[in-house]
């Protein structure tokens, strides 16, 4: 390690969510390095520090949306619900931070405003909002993929007399909806989670929907003591399974196409999956994301469910997705979302048919007229994957701005490094499987790979690593091929493609080749002496 008293750190890690915490633990406690985390929030949690909106919980099940690296940790921790609420995840990450004594190396309330590579020194210079500059050999971003809030520029927002909130920047104190007229914009995973909870409390809820969405019941429930004990006893096998699948889940589709069965058999399987609930529905057959005909059967099954749940046929029709295939946009799961539209105090506004024109002092004006509101909730998503990275204003060699390097869309090698940016590692960066997987599995793989890479460099007396532009070129090609082998890029309005942010280049960002395959490729790269990277002393 670099000497402590030189004021130079071995590594600066940006972000104290799952990724930042584990990266700090790995570098500091396994390699004995001098690492520091810079975190904008006042506590640990990362994305989960900010996402506190009503109904916020994880769509992955708690027992596998967690760290696997410490057997002691997974034995000590008890999850209470099938899907953890936002505060339970924060409590878990607090527990992790305490258990591994991580806080002493985390600088909270510290926002990075610029990071520049000093070629002469071979060091990163990282500037913070408070005016501090820190220096380190390595810079590791652990900023999450869905952490840069997207508040659409709707004229008149500043004139609104009520309160407005973005779900990903929710206030720490509860928002009281009692007796209020609430407008909610957006029907992605977040809007679909928040809708039933807000409707319970508000005098009236108006949901502004741009794209109708497929959603499957989550079937959330408490985890019993017996289940907890069983999971703990089985953890080794559960984790191994999670690492071996496409999405990092400890379950996989059977080796059966939806087209292999009769309609009756197929419907029986969908019905069972619908009852079981959650992301497991997507794993009913092995070709839902690759075969249009198969996908149509799943899409049609959900459409029929929506029509059967929602009593008003006109509302049901508006809620029925028509312009994309099931799961080609990130599939939400819900707790009584469609049922909520049967309530007297809930209205659905289709903003494709009647676009939002402006926000007025008293509400939202669509083409059809003004909707009077006391509170507006923006469930309008994120500048996904690239947003949080570009916000750091990263400058590589020759003052090359990441924003320039990625002007036509993100380009990385393995989602981990960018040509022209030596010693910068991006955990769950664009080009990695990240958002298409159960995040902790992807994060642990990345962190362990980066840690080993840095350790190998140290042992070989190397101080610098950078992705070779040719390797970036072929990885970008491979990421495109992997996406095109699925139906995913066909959903034109998907944030996977950057389509939700006006002016953002349309590039399919995550690696769709699967988590297990990705991990094998990364391993192969190491075995071939870090093929595709240029390393030097
Ligand atoms: P998403 O999935 O990006 O959903 C955002 C929603 O907001 C979606 O329905 C958008 O419609 C809608 N939206 C965005 N901008 C506008 C404007 N300007 N007008 C009307 N409607 C708009 O974000 P979430 O927070 O729900 O979920 C993000 C991830 O968090 C999720 O995938 C999980 O991984 C957890 P669109 O579909 O673009 O037409």
Per the DSSP assignment, residues forming a β-bridge with 436 are: none
Distance CA 498, CA 507 (A): 7
- Among residues 386, 406, 412, 391, the alpha carbon closest in space to that of 495 is found at 386
Distance 326 CA to ligand 1 centre (A): 15
Does the CB atom of residue 495 touch ligand 1 within 6 A?
yes
Q: Which residue is listed with tokens 């400058």?
A: 395
Q: What's the gap in Å between 531 CA and the centre of ligand 1?
A: 38
- Expressed in angstroms and rounded, the spacing between residue 189 Cα and the centre of ligand 1 is 7
DSSP for 402-441?
HHHHTTTS---BTTTB-TT-TTEEETT-BTBSGGGS-HHH
How many angstroms is it from 481 CA to the middle of ligand 1? 26
Measured by CA distance, the residue closest to atom 14 of ligand 1 is 380
Output the CA 39–ligand 1 centroid distance in Å: 26
In contact, 433 and 475? CB cutoff 8 Å: no
Residue 7: what pLDDT? 87
List, in sequence order, every beta strand (DSSP E) within 186-314.
204-209, 216-217
Give the residue-averaged pLDDT of 151-168.
98
What is the per-residue pLDDT for 4?
A: 46
Mean pLDDT of 238-263: 97
What sign results for the dihedral spanned by CA atoms 487, 500, 50, 203? Answer: negative
d(CA 349, CA 318): 9
Residue of the CA atom closest to atom 31 of ligand 1: 189
Ligand 1 pocket check for 332: Cβ under 6 Å: no
In short, whether 187's Cβ falls inside 6 Å of ligand 1 is yes
Query: What does pLDDT average to over the chain?
Result: 97
| CA 177 from centroid of its chain's CA atoms | 27
366 lines ligand 1 (CB under 6 A): no
> Can you give the pLDDT at residue 6?
64
Q: What is the mean pLDDT of residues 448-468?
A: 98
Ligand 1 pocket: which of 54, 58, 189 to mutate (most atoms within 8 A of CB): 189
The residues, ordered by sequence, that sit 6+ positions from 88 with a Cβ below 8 Å of its Cβ are: 62, 79, 80, 81
pTM of the model: 0.97
Average pLDDT over residues 248-260: 97
| Res. 20: pLDDT tops 90 | yes
Distance in Å from the first CA to the final CA of the chain? 15
Residue 388 has pLDDT above 70, yes or no: yes
Q: pLDDT exceeding 70 applies to what percent of the chain?
A: 99
What average pLDDT does range 489-514 have in this prediction? 95
363: which strand partners?
360, 372
Q: What ipTM does this complex have? A: 0.99
Average pLDDT over residues 385-389: 97
Closest ligand 1 atom to residue 351 Cα is 20
At residue 197, the pLDDT reads 98
pLDDT digits (tens, 9 = 90+) for 169-188: 999 998 999 999 999 999 99
| Residue 423 burial class via C-beta count within 10 angstroms: exposed 0-12, middle 13-18, buried 19 and up | buried
Mean pLDDT across 507-532: 98
Residues in Cβ contact with 511 at an 8 Å cutoff, skipping those fewer than 6 apart:
415, 431, 432, 433, 434, 436, 479, 482, 518
> H-helix or E-strand containing 533?
strand 533-536
Strands 133-141 and 123-128: antiparallel
Write the pLDDT tens digit of every residue in 97-118: 999 999 999 999 999 999 999 9
Q: What is the pLDDT of residues 354-375, one digit of tens each?
A: 999 999 999 999 999 999 999 9
Average pLDDT score over residue span 285-310: 98
The C-alpha torsion from 72 through 457 and 427 to 445, rounded to 10°, is -40
191 Cβ closer than 6 Å to some ligand 1 atom: yes
pLDDT exceeds cutoff 60 at 1:
no
pLDDT at 287 over 90: yes
Say what the pLDDT of residue 2 is. Answer: 40
Q: Which residues contact 536 (CB under 8 A, 6 or more apart)?
A: 462, 463, 464
**Angle formed by the axes of helices 515-527 and 225-244, nearest 10°:** 50
C-alpha of residue 375 to centroid of ligand 1, in Å: 18
Instruction: Render 227-243 in DSSP notation, one character per residue.
Output: HHHHHHHHHHHHHHHHH
Q: Residues 414, 431: contact at Cβ < 8 Å?
A: yes
Whole-number pLDDT of residue 3: 40
Q: Is 524 exposed, middle or buried (0-12, 13-18, 19+ CB in 10 A)?
A: exposed
């Amino acid at each position: 390690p670099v000497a402590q008293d030189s004021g130079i750190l071995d590594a600066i890690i940006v972000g104290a969510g799952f990724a930042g915490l584990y990266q700090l633990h790995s570098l500091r406690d396994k390699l004995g390095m001098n690492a520091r985390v810079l975190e904008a929030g006042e506590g640990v949690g990362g994305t989960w520090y900010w996402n506190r909106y009503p109904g916020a919980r994880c769509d992955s099940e708690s027992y596998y949306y967690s760290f696997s690296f410490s057997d002691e940790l997974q034995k000590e921790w008890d999850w209470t619900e099938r899907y953890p609420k936002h505060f339970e995840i924060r409590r878990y990450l607090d527990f992790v931070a305490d258990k591994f004594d991580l806080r002493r190396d985390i600088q909270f309330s510290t926002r990075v405003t610029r990071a520049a590579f000093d070629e002469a020194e071979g060091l990163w210079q990282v500037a913070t909002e408070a005016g501090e500059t820190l220096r380190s050999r390595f810079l590791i971003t652990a900023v999450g993929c869905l952490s840069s809030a997207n508040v659409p520029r709707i004229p008149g927002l500043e004139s609104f007399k009520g309160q407005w909130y973005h779900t990903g920047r929710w206030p720490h104190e509860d928002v009281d909806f009692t007796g209020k007229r609430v407008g909610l914009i957006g029907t992605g995973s977040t809007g679909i989670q928040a809708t039933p909870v807000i409707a319970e409390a508000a005098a009236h809820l108006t949901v502004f929907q741009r794209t109708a969405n497929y959603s499957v019941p989550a079937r959330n429930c408490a985890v019993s003591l017996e289940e907890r004990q069983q999971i703990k006893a089985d953890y080794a096998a559960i984790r191994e399974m999670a690492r071996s699948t496409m999405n990092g889940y400890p379950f996989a589709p059977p080796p059966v196409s939806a087209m292999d069965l009769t309609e009756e058999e197929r419907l029986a399987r969908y019905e069972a999956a619908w009852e079981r609930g959650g992301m497991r529905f997507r794993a009913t057959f092995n070709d839902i994301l690759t075969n249009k005909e198969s996908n149509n059967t799943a899409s049609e099954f959900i459409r029929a469910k929506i029509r059967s749940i929602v009593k008003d046929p006109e509302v049901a029709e508006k809620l029925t997705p028509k312009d994309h295939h099931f799961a080609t946009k990130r599939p939400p799961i819900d707790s009584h979302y469609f049922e909520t539209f049967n309530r007297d105090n809930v209205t659905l506004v289709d903003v494709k048919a009647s676009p939002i024109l402006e926000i007025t002092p008293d509400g939202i004006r669509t083409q059809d007229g003004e909707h009077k509101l006391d509170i507006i909730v923006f469930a309008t998503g994120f500048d996904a994957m690239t947003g949080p990275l570009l916000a750091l204003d990263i400058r590589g060699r020759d003052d090359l701005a990441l924003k320039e390097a990625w002007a036509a869309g993100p380009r990385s090698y393995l989602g981990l490094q960018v040509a022209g940016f030596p010693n910068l590692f991006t955990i769950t960066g664009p080009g990695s499987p990240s958002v298409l997987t159960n995040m902790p599995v992807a994060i642990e793989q990345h962190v362990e790979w980066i840690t080993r890479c840095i350790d190998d460099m140290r042992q070989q007396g190397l101080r610098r690593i950078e992705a070779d532009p040719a390797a970036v070129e072929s990885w970008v090609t491979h990421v495109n091929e992997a996406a095109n082998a699925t139906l995913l890029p066909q959903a034109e309005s998907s944030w996977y493609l950057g389509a939700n942010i006006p002016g953002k280049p349309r590039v399919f960002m995550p690696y769709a080749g699967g988590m297990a395959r990705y991990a094998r490729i990364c391993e192969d790269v190491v075995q071939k002496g870090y093929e595709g990277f240029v390393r030097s002393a």
